[in-house]
Amino acid sequence: MLSKKNFLLIIATIFCLSSAIVAQSFSWSGPTNLTINYGQTTASAAYYFTYNNLSGLCYPGLIIAVNGNVINNDLCHNPSTPSSYTINFTEGTHTVKFSLLSINCNTLNCYHAIIHKVYEFTVTVNFKIRHENIFTYGTIYVDNYTTPRNSPYDRTSNPNNSYSIGAIDQSYGGYNWIWNNSGINNSKWKRITSDGSEYNYSYDRNTNYTVQPNDKNAKLIAGLRKICNIIFQNNYVGLGNGGIITVNGSQYNSPTSSFQVVELNPITAEAVDQSMNGINYTFTQWSDQNQNRSRTIYPSDHQTYTAYFRGIPQPPTIAVNLTQNQPIRLTWTANPNGNVIYKIHRDIHHRATGWTHGWHIIATLPAGSNSYTDGDYIYGWGSNSYYLYYKVEAFYTIENTSSISNMISTEGYDNVPKISLNIPTEYGITSFPNPFNPTTTFLYKLVDDSDVLLEVYDITGKLVDRILNEHKQSGYHSVVWNTSNINGENLSSGMYLYRFTVKPTNGKNIYIKNDKLILMK
C-alpha cells in the first residue's frame, strides 16, 4: 500500500506532466476546400490559431509549410506564433502542415528544434468556368436542361469533371436569337481559354463538356444567331415608296413586310425600273450607296434597304398638221402628270442661202398642253422657203429632268404679219412644286413684249434673290429657281415671298403679282 507521501508525489508528477502537455499544444481553424473566383488566379484562405500557455518554451514558433515549402519565418529567423495567417492557393490539391516548435533552452540551437505539435491536412482548390451567350446576357443551360441559368453563369469545376451545357432560343436586345443549323453561319459552342485562344467545341445545341486542366478562367460561349428583320422599299422623288420590288426572285409591293433572315445568311433583292403616272423611273442606287440593281445581302442587323430612282417624263410623240399657207401646228398626247411642262424647240435652215438659226426654245407651255401653233411660219415650199424642224421637250419639274420627242420636219415661209395664235390673253405666273425642295419652276405668261422683274424676299421684307430682270417677248415662259440667295448661298427652310412685275413696252398698265413660297428641307 502507497504511503501518503508517495501518493502526493505521484499526483504532483501527473500535474507537472499535464501542465507541460497543455503548454505545448495549439489548435487551428480554417477551410480545406476553396474555389478561385472567375477572373482571379488564386484563392485566399485565412487560418486562425489558439495557443495554450507557451511561457515555458524558448523561442516558440509556428512553422507553416505548403507542399513541403515553408512560407513563413522559421526558428532561426524571427519565429512567431501568429493568431491568424492567410495563404494564397492556386488550383489543385495542396498539403498543408502546421508545426509548433521551440528551441532547447540549454543549447539555444535553432537547428535542433523541439517539436511540440504538428497538424497536416490537404486543401482542395477548384476554379470557375464562365458560361455565356454570344450576346453575353439572357439565359443558358448548365448542369441540366430544365433550369435556365442567368448568363453569364460561373460554375465551380475541376479537371476531368464532366457536365451538360445547352443553348436556349430567346429574345434579347430587340432580336430573336436561335440555334442555327441552316448550313450558313451555323451556331456552335466556342471555348476561349484565359490566354485568349479560341477553339470550336461543338455544333450541337445540347452537349456534355469535360473540364480541361487549363480551363481556369475559360469561357464556354453559346453561339446563338440573331434573326434580322429586313425590309425593302422604293423611293421616288415627290411620289413616295410605292411600286414593286423583287425579293428572292418574287415580286412584292413596296414597302415590303419584314423578311426574317438569320444573320449573315443571304437574301437577294432587285430594283425594278417601272413607269407610273407618265414618269419612267430608272434605278440609280441603294440607300447604302450600292449601285448594283440586283444584289445579295448578308445582313447582320435589322435594316431597311431603299432603292432610289430617277424619274424622267415619258417622251411625247408629236405629229404635224399642215394646211397650205396656214401656220404650222404640232400635236401630241399630254402627259397625265401635272408636274410635266413642255418646251418647244425649233431649228431653221433657209433653202436658198443655207443660213441656219440652230436649235432654240420658242415657247414653254404649262402642264396638260397637247398642241402648239407656230405663228412665225406658214406651211408651203419653194426656192425661198425654209426647212423647219421641231421637237417637243417634256420637262418634269419635280426632278428637273426631261425627255425629247421625235423630230418633225417640214417647209414653210416667214409669216408676215405674225399670227399670234399662241399668245396668252392675260398676264400670270405660278410656281410648282410649292412647297418644294430643292428647286421650283416659275411658269409665266406675257400678253405683250415686256420688261420682266422676278424677285424673292424673306418674311422680313429683305431681298433674297433676283431671278429675272430682262426683256421678254410675249408668250409662255419658264425659269427654274435653285433656292440660293443673291450671293449664291443656299437658303434655309421656311416661307418666302416672290414679286412678279411686268412692264409692257407698248405702254400698257404694269402688272404685279405677289405670292408665297415654302422651302422644305
Q: Cell numbers at residue 48, please?
A: 486562425
Q: Are 399 and 436 in contact (CB under 8 A)?
A: no
Q: Are 387 and 353 in contact (CB under 8 A)?
A: no
Residues 328, 396 within the same domain: yes
Residues 372, 439 within the same domain: no
Residues 331, 407 within the same domain: yes
Residue 401: CATH number of its domain = 2.60.40.10
Q: Cell numbers at residue 514, please?
A: 405677289
Domain assignment present for residue 214? The answer is: no
Residue 50: CATH number of its domain = 2.60.40
Domain boundary among 281, 313, 345: 313
Domain assignment present for residue 491? The answer is: yes
Residues 410, 474 within the same domain: no
Between CA 221 and CA 153 the distance in angstroms is 11
Residues 458, 493 within the same domain: yes
Residues 345, 439 within the same domain: no
Domain assignment present for residue 212? The answer is: no
Between CA 61 and CA 168 the distance in angstroms is 57
Residues 374, 449 within the same domain: no
Question: What's the total number of domains in the chain?
Answer: 4
Between CA 207 and CA 179 the distance in angstroms is 13
Residues 340, 303 within the same domain: no
Domain assignment present for residue 207? The answer is: no
Domain boundary among 292, 313, 334: 313
Domain boundary among 414, 442, 460: 414
Domain assignment present for residue 362? The answer is: yes
Residues 77, 29 within the same domain: yes
In the DSSP assignment, the letter for residue 8 is H
Q: What is the pTM of this model?
A: 0.69
Domain assignment present for residue 476? The answer is: yes
Domain assignment present for residue 240? The answer is: yes
Residues 306, 339 within the same domain: no
SS3 109: coil
Residues 258, 345 within the same domain: no
Between CA 392 and CA 514 the distance in angstroms is 31
Domain assignment present for residue 179? The answer is: no
CA atoms 425, 427, 431, 434: torsion sign = negative
Question: Which pLDDT tens digits describe the chain residue by residue (521 residues)?
Answer: 434 344 333 333 333 333 344 446 899 999 999 999 999 999 999 999 999 989 889 999 999 999 999 999 888 888 999 999 999 999 999 999 999 999 998 888 888 899 999 999 999 999 999 999 999 999 999 999 999 999 999 999 999 899 999 999 999 999 999 999 999 999 999 999 999 999 999 999 999 999 999 999 999 999 999 999 999 999 999 889 999 999 999 999 999 999 999 999 999 999 999 999 999 999 999 999 999 999 999 999 999 999 999 999 999 999 999 998 899 999 999 999 999 999 999 999 998 888 888 999 999 999 999 999 998 899 998 888 999 999 999 999 999 999 999 999 999 998 765 444 567 889 999 887 888 888 888 889 899 999 999 999 999 989 999 999 999 988 888 888 888 877 888 888 899 999 999 999 888 899 999 999 988 87
Q: Which residue has the cell 431649228?
A: 347
Q: Are 341 and 400 in contact (CB under 8 A)?
A: no
Give tens-digit pLDDT for 299-313.
999 999 999 999 999
Domain encompassing residue 405 = 319-414
Residues 394, 438 within the same domain: no
